[in-house]
Amino acid sequence: MPSNIRSNVFQSPVQEILHVSFRTTEPLQCLNGYRKGLGLGPSPNLISSQAFQPPNRIIRRECAHVITPNHLPNRTRKTSSAYQGDPNLPRNVCAAIPDELNCRLWITGLPPTCTIRQLLSSIKGIGPVYACHVNEPIATGPKKFDTAAASLTFFTAEAATRFLERHEVKPFEVEGYVTTMTRHRIRTEPVPVNGRSRVLLIVGDPRVVTVENLSRIFTEEWNIRFDTEFVHFRRGQDQNQIHWAFGSFRAQAQAIHANINRHQLGNGVQAMYRADPCL
């Protein structure tokens, strides 16, 4: 098992369950090298699902603040000096919708070393998560923060509203840190669930369906950057099963599900959506 995968293993005659925390170090180093060149601080997570491009292949958009109706209709752009995401991604452009339809929340006051796993495992009974990203504390620059923050997007506005209402009654806590929560200033439209989620059940050929092999394929062959909340692995004689909860549906579980079911791993491997534990 690679050194960047930490696990606690329980073995029985019928199954092995692995609780895995992934940190794909090499792509993260590439990303932070690029961020450094832009004058940004390092990120603890791989925040882009796109394949990393070295700086000499990046097309710099000098007029990125200009939006034309042909490209991004009914949207406006809002960014700040503390923003750690990619403002040019369509889903990171503010949608022209009323605030009550905004599915994205902004959570501050998280533990300084907060992980995707710690954040998502603290959310129960709310709704399926569409996307999640944790920002590390900011130690330098005009705005300094000694705690982490997170952008959390649900599929539905109802789920975001439910989480806010619960927070008002009892403030949301992660690892003993009491947070603050509000609608994100970058408004995000609802997305139909249609039975989809950030959680996959992957079944198939034991020679292919292992945590180590699939994590290598996702990052090295498919250029998919992902976070993991948990992984449960069950070994079988004819096929293995992996119950994999990714950090986001967008560009993570969504892309992996599509690639597997296009038979990119062979006809003997399938991926199926399973319920989000944040429901």
The amino acid at residue 205 is D
The mean pLDDT of 177-191, rounded to a whole number, is 97
User: Tens of pLDDT along 80-134?
Assistant: 444 445 656 666 789 999 999 999 999 999 999 999 999 999 999 999 999 999 9
Percentage of the chain beyond pLDDT 90 is 63
Task: Write out 95-110 in H/E/C secondary structure.
Answer: ECCCHHHCCEEEEEEE
Q: Coil, strand, or helix at residue 134?
A: strand
| pLDDT value of residue 177 | 98
- The rounded radius of gyration (Å) of the Cα atoms in the chain is 19
What pTM value is reported for the model? Answer: 0.70
The mean pLDDT of 181-210, rounded to a whole number, is 97
The amino acid at residue 75 is R
Partners of 106 in the beta sheet?
151, 182
Whether the pLDDT of residue 253 is over 80: the answer is yes
User: Tens of pLDDT along 145-164?
Assistant: 899 999 999 999 999 999 99
Rounded to 5°, angle at Cα 149 from 120 and 184 = 90
Q: Coil, strand, or helix at residue 140?
A: coil
Query: Could you tell me if 25 and 52 are in contact, meaning their C-beta atoms sit under 8 angstroms apart?
Result: no
User: Mean pLDDT across the chain, nearest whole number?
Assistant: 80
| pLDDT value of residue 39 | 59
The mean pLDDT of 187-204, rounded to a whole number, is 97
Residue with tokens 């992980």: 115
